[in-house]
Structure 1
Amino acid sequence: MIPTGLPPAVHADLSRVIESLGMITPRWNARILITLAGQPLRYTEIKSRMPWLHDGQLHPKLRRLSDAGLVERTEHGVRHVTYGLSARGRDLIPVLAVIAVWGDTHLEKPAPTAAGAQPASTVQDIEDSLVLISYRHATPILWSLQARGTSSAKAVAADAMPGHGLSAVYPRLRQLVDDRLVDTDEAEADYRLSPPGQALAPVYRALSAWAAGRPLSDAATHPVWGHPPAPSQSATGMWASTTAKTPPAPQTTPAAQWRAGDLFSHQVPARAGAPAGGHRR
């Protein structure tokens, strides 16, 4: 776990979120979890839904997801084994739905290149969103900017990258600017969350609640992401405010409405003027 200069309670919460991202961000993990969301499947049934994965790729991923407590392997008899979501894995599906909403709204959509070209699927929105916030030090930097408001690179480095030289934070900040999660002035003297970066609040609230084993209904009370960004201020006392009034959590797609076919062939609705987020991989 990367060190931070955040208060212990905030650091512990952030550490759980980063650990959770480490479970679900590796490529194809989200697709495997979503594939198993409907019912337990045999290995050959999973393989048929993800034919691009060789046995040498799928087997280790199922094993790691089982070791992480997200997937359960059940032996029904000789040569009859199924894989299904554990209770922990089932609780993660609504979190993925929140991530999908952010990705559908804020990620850049690829322009059609040929007649009949398919738009990005919901699961691709999830994967691409996870890549943006799992980039090294990205989440600690975003948390620092959410708490501080407009801040200098030095202040952000003290929160998110203690022990590194100040020069080390600039490439990370520039990457987040390129990904359109952070805004800065022309002199790069101050940094702040962009509108898509601020809109990550439901995502981080949901991840924090899931990581701590709390219901998502408790997510709106998050001490960092449960209130609007603070105005520019000094570090003194900036982490103390945990009781600010919060708006209701936005509506998200219920997990029960998710079907595997919908997730892999999701039609992106037209959104006039929707802000573009980070790049797709």
Structure 2
Amino acid sequence: MATTGLPPTTPNDLSSVTKTLDLLAPRWSVWVLMTISSQPLRYAEIKPRLPWLGDGQLHPRLRHLTNAGVVERTEYAPRHVTYGLTGRGAELLPVLAVIASWGDTHLEKTLVASKATGTMELERIPPAQNIDDTLALIAPRHATPILWTLQARGSASAKTLATEAMPGYGLTAVYKPLDRLVADGLVTATGSGDFQLSASGQALAPVFQAISVWATAPLAEARRPRGQGAAPSQNRSGPWATTPTRLPAPTAPAASSAGPALTTTPDGPAWKSNDLFSHRIPARPITPAGGPRR
């Protein structure tokens, strides 16, 4: 079998990719990033756009993303704080677009009645939901190392996967994550007892390539605020952390207009909130037909 798809396995690349998945995987983190992708917003402006998140859920996600260096907290006055993407966070937007595209193409959808025509058509899934559902498949522990090992080998036995993808765990530990990848439609069993990537698994190539490129970018780029040159060192606390800064208060942000799911800005793609959140969060159907399940 030809080994196509995912990038070559190297310890550094794999480690960087899994760390990036750990950054994105906590549920609703991607929704927060996409909500502030067009412009910095105050907490009171973010909250109505993510109404299903309570303060006990939204605050930790903003803190998590800020500590990771992809969101910057800027304090203009004691009660005027905004959250916006750092330069590193803006560079994540094209990566999110690639993940959303894979999810839209390969994850199952259900048929729903169209309000306009009355006919049955595939449901439309918000980009952020496609990203969250894709991350739910590839972010669990050991999932990506198994996928990368299968890409490098073409096919492999459970014993080989245990040795190369999960060193130190033993043979029995590989079966649970491997069975999950098979059930999710990313891996298939061969007639000889080996395992290989499914077509959907091979199609993850652009996803892992985009994540790998972003994850291995120089740290100097990671410290650069969005749309600016190198930041003054006194405004930073470590390569990924940001500290509050006091700046003149900005003008009130313009109301978001309806538009396509993905638009291009000088800093990269941005999602329109009306398009993101005009649909209810879809259920996760589990059916035997179609692509990988949600």
TM-score with structure 1 setting the length: 0.75
1:122–1:264: 8 Å Cα contact kept in structure 2?
A: no
The yes-or-no answer on 1:278 pairing with 2:283 is no
Partner of 2:272: 259
- Tell me which protein shows more helix as a share of its residues: 1
Distance of 1:190 and 1:138 partners within structure 2 = 17
Q: Do the aligned partners of 1:14 and 1:140 also contact (CA within 8 Å) in 2?
A: yes
| Whole-Å separation in 1 of the counterparts to 2:174 and 2:105 | 28
Return the structure number with greater relative CO, CA threshold 8 A, min gap 6.
2
1:129 shift after superposition = 0.2
Q: Does 1:175 align with 2:180?
A: yes
- On the 8 A contact 2:20/2:215 being kept in 1, the answer is yes
User: Are the equivalent residues in 2 in contact too, given 1:110–1:120 (CA < 8 A)?
Assistant: no
State percent identity of aligned pairs: 55
1:253/1:50 CA distance change after superposition, 3 Å: closer
Query: Aligned residue for 2:88?
Result: 88
In the aligned structure 1, how far is the partner of 2:51 from the partner of 2:74? 22
1:134-153 alignment to 2 at 5 Å? 134-153=139-158
Instruction: Describe the shift of the 1:69–1:94 C-alpha distance in structure 2 as closer, same or farther (beyond 3 A).
Output: same
Shift of 1:200: 0.2
**Taking structure 2 as the reference length, what is the TM-score of the superposition?**
0.72
* Deviation per residue, 1:59-78 (Å, 9 max, x gap): 11111110110100111123
> What's the offset of the Cα at 1:113?
7.8
**CA shift at 1:11, angstroms?**
1.0
Contact 1:20/1:207, CA 8 A, preserved across alignment: yes
1:193 matched residue in structure 2: 197
Match of 1:159 among 134, 158, 164: 164
Amino acid at match of 1:192: Q
Q: Which structure has the greater CA radius of gyration? A: 2
Q: CA RMSD in A?
A: 2.5
Matches of 2:103 and 2:263 in 1, distance apart?
13
Partners of 1:192 and 1:265 lie apart in 2 by 39
Partner amino acid for 1:278? P
| Corresponding residue of 2:49 | 49
- 8 Å CA contact 1:112–1:119 kept in 2: the answer is no
Residues 117-154 of structure 1 deviation map (CA, whole Å, 9 limit, x = unaligned)? 96321110010001100122100000000000011111
1:205 aligned onto 2:206:
no
| d(CA) in 2 for partners of 1:207, 1:167 | 30
Q: Which runs of 5+ in 1 are unaligned?
A: 1-8, 215-251, 267-274
In the alignment, structure 2 segments of 5+ residues that lack a partner are: 1-8, 117-121, 219-261, 280-288
Q: How many residues align?
A: 227
